[in-house]
Amino acid sequence: MEILAFGVTADERPLLERAFAGQHEVRCLDVFLSEDTAPIAAGYEVVSSSVNADLSGRVLRILAAGGTKLIAQRSTGFNNIDLDVARQLGMTVSRVSAYSPYSVAEFAWALALAVNRRIVRASIRTRDFDFRLNGLMGRDMHGRTAGVLGTGRIGEAFTRIAHGFGMNLLGWDVEHNPACLELGMKYVDKDELFASSDLISLHVPLLESTHHVVDEAALRRMRDDAILVNSSRGGLIDTDALVAHLREGRFTGVGLDVYEAEAGVFFLDKSLEAVEDDTLARLVTFPNVLVTSHQAYYTGDAVAQIIDTTVANVADYLADRRSENTLVPS
C-alpha cells in the first residue's frame, strides 16, 4: 500500500520513510492538508496528516470521495478534525495519544528562562558587540511559585523541573496527579492559581471547556510581574486580551510556542509577505514576548515516537484493531 503523508518536514521525512520501509510505500509532501490540497489524495486509502492540517467536514468529504478511509494524524491534539463528519463518512481516524513529555516540558522551561533572563535581547545585543547589562535583569526561580495548569504527563514533567529549581508548586486539573502531590504540589482552583503564581505554564488540551481558559478575567488576576508560558494549544489564551494587557506594561515575560490563529502561518516561510494578522504582528513587537513556531514537540526522540505510533496505527487499521489512539470509530 502507498500512504500519502502531508506536512512532512525535511527532518521528519527520512524517519518516516525508514519507519514504513518493508511494509508500505510512503509519499511525503511538505504541503499541509487543506481544502486546496485534499484532491491530491485521490486514490490513497491511507492519509497521514500533521498537527495544523485542516480536517474540517469539507476536507473530509473530499478525501472520502477520493477513496481515503484512514486519517492517521501525527499529533496528540485533534481539535482540527470534525470527528462527527468522519464518523458519518465511515472513516477511521487515529492520532498519537502520547509521546515524549520531556520534549514539550523542557521547551516550556526554555521559554520561561529565556523571557526571564532576557536571552534573546542579550543575544541580539552581543551580535552587535553591545555588552551592556541595562534592561537584562531577571530574577531567581528558586523560592518562587510555579502554577501548572494541567498536570498530565507533560505537566508532571514540567513540575519535576520546577521542583528541581526549588519552587513552590500550585496545580489545577480535573484529576490530581499522585506524582505531583508527592513533589509537594498543592491543587487549587484556577482563580487562586492565576493570582498566586509567579510562573504559569499551560499543559491542558484544547477543548470547549478550556478554550480561552486564560481570558481577560484570568489575565487581570495575574501578577503584574508574572511569567506566562503556553506550549500546548494557542486557543487556550485570548490573544487580543493578552495584547491589551501587554500594552499596559504588564508581565515580566510571555513565552508562546503556539498561537490561536497559527493555521496557515506557522510552519511556513512568510518572511517576504505582508503580515495580515494584526494581532500576531503586534504581539511579536513586545520586548518581553517570545514567540516560536510550534516546535516544543520537535526533538528526534519525540518525532521518532510519533512516527512509530503512526506506523502502529496503520497496522491496527489494516488488521481491524482498535487502540487508545483510535478516535473514530470510538
Confidence of residue 77 (pLDDT cuts 50, 70, 90): confident
Task: Give the span between the Cα atoms of 278 and 227, in whole angstroms.
Answer: 23
Contact 21, 62 (CB under 8 A): no
| Beta-carbon contacts of residue 212 (< 8 Å; ≥ 6 apart) | 235, 236, 237, 238
The sign of the dihedral angle between the CA atoms of 192, 194, 200, 206 is: positive
Q: Read off the C-alpha cell for 238.
A: 485570548
Q: Read off the C-alpha cell for 307.
A: 512516527
How many residues are listed for the chain in this entry?
Answer: 330
| pLDDT tens string 241-271 | 999 999 999 999 999 999 999 988 898 889 9
CA distances from 316 to 44, 238, 309, 321 (A): 17, 38, 10, 5
The sign of the dihedral angle between the CA atoms of 292, 296, 299, 303 is: negative
Contact 152, 177 (CB under 8 A): yes
Overall average pLDDT of the 98-111 stretch: 97
Q: Read off the C-alpha cell for 116.
A: 526571564
How deeply is 86 buried, as exposed, middle or buried, from its count of CB atoms within 10 A (0-12, 13-18, 19+)? buried
Q: Which has the minimum average pLDDT: 89-93, 248-252, 273-277, 325-329? A: 273-277
Q: 27 has which bridge partners?
A: 4
Average pLDDT, the chain: 96
Overall average pLDDT of the 315-327 stretch: 95
Task: Give the span between the Cα atoms of 143 and 152, in whole angstroms.
Answer: 24
The catalytic site residues sit at 233, 262, 294
Please give the helix or strand (H or E) that residue 229 lies within, else none. strand 227-230
pLDDT score of 330: 65
State percent of the chain over pLDDT 90: 95
Contact 93, 86 (CB under 8 A): yes
Q: Find cell 472513516 and name the residue.
A: 91
Torsion of CA 33, 37, 43, 48, to 10 degrees: -10
The sign of the dihedral angle between the CA atoms of 281, 286, 287, 292 is: negative
On the question of pLDDT at 88 being above 80, the answer is yes
Task: Give the span between the Cα atoms of 122 and 115, in whole angstroms.
Answer: 11
DSSP helix/strand/coil, 187: strand
State percent of the chain over pLDDT 70: 100
Contact 156, 181 (CB under 8 A): no
Contact 312, 87 (CB under 8 A): no
Task: Give the span between the Cα atoms of 268 and 271, in whole angstroms.
Answer: 9
Confidence of residue 321 (pLDDT cuts 50, 70, 90): very high
Q: 170 has which bridge partners?
A: 147, 186
Contact 284, 248 (CB under 8 A): no
| pLDDT tens string 184-241 | 999 999 999 999 999 999 999 999 999 999 999 999 999 999 999 999 999 999 999 9
